[in-house]
């Protein structure tokens, strides 16, 4: 069945570059795009009117934790000062191995559903949403989204001692055991959900994995032909710890273990040698990243919350790094992340000429697809997958639109997304996800948030109750029922 989406602006792709077609047409058949152009003459079963709309390739988030992540909301700026107030180290509250005791399918859907609402059709998800692989694969199937995922593994679990100090519980065998589970996941589930679920190896971080586990990860990835993602240089603590342990920066460690290359997605990779927050500028990290064509997943919002920037998107790109965009944790809005990536680069370089809408739109589309080895994603051209986002730019927040990509990056958000297709199927229309009950996911997330608030350990705030201790913008009166 052939369907034509009649634009509007259509973001086509040819000769390695996006271009914009005004009053363009995008014709799909099955899960593929068969035509981008004007005045299509072939037979059609259906025409979708998308006049005044922007039709883009489905966006790709290269770093997402799909679970509820309510802890992040709660800790906000009140976390450990030594972990920058809201870094992930804040919620490593207790020893924990494996998946949650009470896996909840709806909770695992929250992050995925949220980033789909901003135009994401493909997400690289780390850790199967904190639920069992079977449940997560079922959830992906149900949502209709495209996901690269796998269980995360590491040697060290970081947890809080009774006095609140962070401790590393290092187990020499844990990383290898986790890797075996991850390899089994590849064998069991790669290609599930009609091919929309693909496996990726997810070693935890450069400071939580034994170098031998990293080497084995690279070997398995080559054998199984799957990509890798690893958190790298995500906070000064990690970078300094790796320097202390190995006398190498995280980037140098990864290079030494064979884990720098286009198909290894480095989560964050902010605190590299020479970063203004680090007392260390002695290694050639940026050059190494560039020489190896390494891929970085940049999720700027989380860093800006902490007062930090990647320094800078423009300099990473000019060094040869394949910069992509991640949506990390809630609020997961890739359009806003694109804007912040561009603006963060300008602030970091103190120049309005640093980074452009084109840089960050490429990052969220073709660059990400290249990192996954997918020439059929992140672009609209004949033969590519019919993964498509339709944004409504005919709204007051945009005003007059001359350049639709600039308008989206400068003034847009996920709230402007109107429809989403994955594999040629509408998974969202009229601003609502079609294949799951959004209200049910929301109710579940809200209930889990309340129970997490009540369960926050009191080491962080002394003996005060969580309600007293979590910072509020203003006093809230009433009992909340
Ligand atoms: Zn992460």
Question: Is the distance from CB of 147 to CB of 122 less than 8 angstroms?
Answer: yes
CA of 425 to the centre of ligand 1 (A): 29
Q: Return the exposure string of 282-321: e unless at least 16 CB atoms fall within 10 Å of the residue's CB, then b.
A: ebbbbebbbebbbbbbbbbbbbeebebbbbbbbbbbebeb
C-alpha of residue 56 to centroid of ligand 1, in Å: 26
User: Which 3 state secondary structure label does DSSP give 84?
Assistant: coil
- Evaluate if residue 286 carries a pLDDT over 90: yes
Residue 13 CA to ligand 1 center (angstroms) comes to 31
Task: Report the run of H or E that residue 324 belongs to, with start and end.
Answer: strand 322-325
- C-alpha distances (whole Å) from 163 to each of 90, 167, 381 are 14, 11, 57
Task: Give the pLDDT band (50/70/90) at residue 279.
Answer: very high
Report the pLDDT value the prediction gives residue 467, as an integer from 0 to 100: 61
**328 Cα: distance to centroid of ligand 1 (angstroms):** 6
For residue 365, which of 56, 112, 114, 118 has the smallest C-alpha distance?
Answer: 56
| Per-residue pLDDT at 75 | 61
Q: What residues flank ion ligand 1 with Cβ within 5 A?
A: 267
How far lies 55's CA from each of 72, 82, 358, 362, 369, in Å?
Answer: 33, 44, 16, 15, 18
Residues ≥6 apart with Cβ < 8 Å to 400: none
For residue 51, the CA-to-ligand 1 centroid distance in Å is 38
With 0.75 as the threshold, say if the pTM is over it.
yes
Strand order of the β-sheet with 197-199 is 59-64, 120-125, 146-149, 197-199
Other Cβ atoms closer than 10 A to 442: 14
Residue pointed to by tokens 């509820």: 68
Cα(253) to centroid(ligand 1), Å: 19
Distance 64 CA to ligand 1 centre (A): 7
Q: Which residues of 198-212 are buried (b: 16+ CB within 10 A; e: fewer)?
A: bbbbbbbbbbbbbbe
Per-residue pLDDT averaged across 110-136, rounded? 93
Write out pLDDT tens, residues 195-228: 999 999 999 999 999 999 999 999 999 999 999 9
Distance between CA atoms of 406 and 329, rounded to whole angstroms? 25
**Adjacent-strand bridge partners of 324:** 297
Token pair 């890797």 is found at 179
Name the average pLDDT for the chain: 90
- Which helix (H) or strand (E) segment holds residue 433: the answer is strand 432-433
Is the distance from CB of 338 to CB of 306 less than 8 angstroms? no
Beta strands in 131-196 (DSSP E): 146-149, 152-153, 156-160, 166-170
How far is the C-alpha of 133 from the C-alpha of 139, rounded, in Å?
Answer: 10
Mean pLDDT of 276-305: 96
Ligand 1 centroid distance, CA of 165 (Å):
22
Average pLDDT over residues 379-405: 97
How many Å lie between the centroid of ligand 1 and the Cα of residue 25?
37
Q: How far is the CA of 264 from the centre of ligand 1 (A)?
A: 14
Residue 453 contacts residue 460 (beta carbons within 8 Å): no
- The pLDDT assigned to 403 comes to 97
The predicted pLDDT at position 100 comes to: 45
Whole-angstrom Cα distance, residue 481 to residue 476? 12
Rounded average pLDDT over 136-148: 95
- 347 CA distance to ligand 1 middle (Å): 24
pLDDT of res. 88: 61
Query: Both tokens of residue 208?
Result: 């939580």
**Can you give the pLDDT at residue 391?**
98
Average pLDDT over residues 298-312: 94
Whether 468 shows a pLDDT value over 90: the answer reads no
- State residue 196's pLDDT score: 98
Q: Are 310 and 303 in contact (CB under 8 A)?
A: yes
Q: Which of 142, 149, 141, 168 is nearest to 157 (CA)?
A: 168
For a pLDDT cut of 70, what percent of the chain falls above it?
A: 87
């Amino acid at each position: 069945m052939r369907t034509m989406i009649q634009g509007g602006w259509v973001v086509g792709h040819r000769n390695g570059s996006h271009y914009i077609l005004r009053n363009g047409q995008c014709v799909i058949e099955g899960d593929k795009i068969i035509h981008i152009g004007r005045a299509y003459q072939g037979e059609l079963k259906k025409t979708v009117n998308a006049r005044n709309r922007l039709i883009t390739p489905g966006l790709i988030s290269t770093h997402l934790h799909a679970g509820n992540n309510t802890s992040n909301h709660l800790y906000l700026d009140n976390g450990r000062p030594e972990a920058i107030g809201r870094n992930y180290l804040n919620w490593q509250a207790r020893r924990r191995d494996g998946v949650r005791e009470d896996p909840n399918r709806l909770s695992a859907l929250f992050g995925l559903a949220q980033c789909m609402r901003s135009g994401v059709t493909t997400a690289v998800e780390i850790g199967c949403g904190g639920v069992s692989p079977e449940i997560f694969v079922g959830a992906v199937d149900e949502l209709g989204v495209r996901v690269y995922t796998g269980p995360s593994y590491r040697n060290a679990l970081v947890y809080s001692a009774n006095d609140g100090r962070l401790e590393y519980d290092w187990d020499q065998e844990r990383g290898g055991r986790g890797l075996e589970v991850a390899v089994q996941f590849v064998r069991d589930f790669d290609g599930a959900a009609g091919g929309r679920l693909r496996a990726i190896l997810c070693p935890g971080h450069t400071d939580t994995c034994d170098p031998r586990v990293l080497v084995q990860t690279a070997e398995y990835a080559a054998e199984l032909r799957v990509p890798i993602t690893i958190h790298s240089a995500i906070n000064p603590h990690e970078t300094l710890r790796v320097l202390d342990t190995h006398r190498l920066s995280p980037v140098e460690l990864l290079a030494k273990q064979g884990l720098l290359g286009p198909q290894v997605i480095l989560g964050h990779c902010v605190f590299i040698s020479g970063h203004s927050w680090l007392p260390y500028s002695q290694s050639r990290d940026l050059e190494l990243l560039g020489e190896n064509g390494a891929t970085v997943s940049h999720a700027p919002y989380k860093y800006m919350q902490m007062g930090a920037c990647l320094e800078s998107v423009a300099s990473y790109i000019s060094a040869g790094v394949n910069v992509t965009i991640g949506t990390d944790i809630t609020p997961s809005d890739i359009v806003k992340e694109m804007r912040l990536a561009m603006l963060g680069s300008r602030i970091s370089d103190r120049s309005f000429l640093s980074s452009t809408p084109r840089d960050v739109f490429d990052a969220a589309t073709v660059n990400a697809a290249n990192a996954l080895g997918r020439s059929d994603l992140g672009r609209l051209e004949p033969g590519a997958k019919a993964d498509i986002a339709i944004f409504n730019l005919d709204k007051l927040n945009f005003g007059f639109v001359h350049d639709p990509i600039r308008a989206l990056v400068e003034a847009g958000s996920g709230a402007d997304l109107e429809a989403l297709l994955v594999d040629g199927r509408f998974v969202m229309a009229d601003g609502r996800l079609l294949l799951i009950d959004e209200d049910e996911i929301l109710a579940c997330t809200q209930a889990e948030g309340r129970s997490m608030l009540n369960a926050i350990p009191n080491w962080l705030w002394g003996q005060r109750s969580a309600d007293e201790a979590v910072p509020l913008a203003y006093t809230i009166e009433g009992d909340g029922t």
